[in-house]
Amino acid sequence: MQAPLSSGSHGSHRNRRHLFHIVLACLLAVAGIASAQDSWPSKPIRLVVPFTPGGVTDTSGRLIAEHLGKRLNQQVVVDNKPGASGNIGTSLVKTATPDGYTLLLGFDGTMVINPNVFAKIPFDTLKDFAPIGKIGNATLILVSHPDVPAKTLSEVIALSKSRSGGLPYGTSGTGGTPHIAGELLNQRTGANLMHVPYKGGGQAMTDVLGGNIPLVYTAVAGAQGHVKSGKLRAIAVSGAQRTSALPDVPTFIESGVADFVVDSWVGVLAPVATPAAITKRLNSELNAVLNDPVVRDKLRALGIEASPGSAEQFGDEMRRDLARYAQVVKSAGIRVENN
């Protein structure tokens, strides 16, 4: 007769069954994740734009969303979530489910300048997001009203130094890339340019066209029409090369300020825990979109030069810009106190 199982044997058997169920659950979970990644995307994707509709950043995002959706065979829906210089929409993506269905249109002003300018920031650029890829660089330009008695950058700098109150320049707001560029120009050349922040680039453009302010630092896209019509005078662009939109306008480097390159970039990011297989696919499809001549021409019309590349390159650029702008912001004493 077989001896009855001891209580210890029963316990061992129960432990093995429990372990088996745990392992099985883990395998099923992994299989489910793999299946979800393989079928991605199976529904529309949301691209959060942390600004109001109509600006260059929003327009470039809509262009990319349209063409990316065609390649993924799923609609990419632009969702504008403005507020706090882009911080509100950006923080929404930080807390979104990292499944590839919520993406962020990242702007350098939000991702690498705001962390240095705002006393409190609801996200960490490097820890909370996975870079997908950079869309491109938006060239910035310094323009003046035609009545300003300075036609070149050296003359503008000399004029600013000759005035005790300095020479005002308008931008879209405190801490934006144009503001940082103006402060960097002061630091590099000893110019006495005085920042005048507006609530948007449109208001600043209205005032310089009306002669209420002598200079405006802005994106090429918002100024090129006025420059071509003669309503504004172009002083210099701050890209590494001249822009095809205004090929006759010299760069700051050509105008005598060595190594002065301040582009405003835009790119795509995802919540940090988004599966690598999905971020890799997104990078590949984004690069394909950016290599499309039709898309490149449309971006160029917005003053943006397409910059296809790897997610790692985009991440490295963000890391460098965070450090570079930290020095400019500290030296200029720029700070936004928020509750």
- Give me the pLDDT at residue 339, please: 62
- Please tell me the predicted confidence (pLDDT) of residue 199: 80
Cα separation, 310 vs 117, in Å, equals 28
Listed by start position, the domains of the chain span 45-139+264-332, 142-237
Q: Domain 142-237: state its class.
A: alpha beta
Least confident of 8-22, 282-296, 322-336: 8-22
User: What is the average per-residue pLDDT within 196-221?
Assistant: 92
Beta bridge partners of 218: 141
Name the CA radius of gyration of the chain, rounded: 25
The neighbouring-strand residues paired with 48 are 79, 104
Does the pLDDT at position 239 exceed 80? yes
Helix/strand/coil for 236: strand
Instruction: Name the residue among 142, 288, 165, 157 with its Cα closest to residue 227.
Output: 142
pLDDT of residue 1: 46
Over range 158-169, report the average pLDDT.
Answer: 96
pLDDT band at 56 (very low <50, low <70, confident <90, very high): confident
d(CA 55, CA 35): 39
29: pLDDT strictly greater than 60: no
Q: In the β-sheet with 129-138, what is the strand arrangement from edge to edge?
A: 76-80, 45-49, 102-107, 264-271, 129-138, 304-306
Sheet holding 140-144, edge to edge: 193-197, 167-171, 215-219, 140-144, 233-237
Q: Tell me if 153 sits within 8 A of 219, measured CB to CB.
A: no
When pLDDT is averaged across residues 284-302 and rounded to a whole number, the result is: 95
Residues whose CB falls within 8 Å of the CB of residue 67, separated by 6 or more in sequence, listed in order: 289, 292, 295
Six-digit token pair at 27? 């395998």
Tokens in use for 54?
């109509």
pLDDT at 15: 63
pLDDT for res 336: 86
Provide, rounded to the nearest whole percent, the portion of the chain with pLDDT above 90: 76
Q: Over the stretch 69-92, which tens digit does the pLDDT of each residue have? A: 999 999 999 999 998 889 999 999
- HSE-CB of 3 using CA atoms within 13 angstroms: 4
Pairwise CA distance, residues 130 & 94, whole Å: 10
Dig out the tokens for 308 from the structure: 């296809």
Confidence of residue 9 (pLDDT cuts 50, 70, 90): low
**Where does the pLDDT of residue 303 fall: very low under 50, low under 70, confident under 90, or very high at 90 and above?**
confident
Q: What is the structure's pLDDT at 176? A: 87
Establish whether domains 45-139+264-332 and 142-237 are of one fold.
Answer: yes
- Look-up of token digits 């995307």: 41
- Decide if 193 contacts 166 (C-beta within 8 A): yes
CATH of domain 45-139+264-332: 3.40.190.150
CA distance 226 to 193: 22
* SS3 at position 298: helix
Would you state the pLDDT for residue 325? Answer: 92
User: Which of 18-32, 46-60, 118-132, 195-209 has the largest mean confidence?
Assistant: 118-132
Chain segment 94-104, per-residue pLDDT in tens = 999 999 999 99
User: Residue 85 has what pLDDT?
Assistant: 86
pLDDT at 10 over 60: no
CA distance 92 to 270: 11
Tell me which of 30-39, 194-203, 271-280 is least confident: 30-39
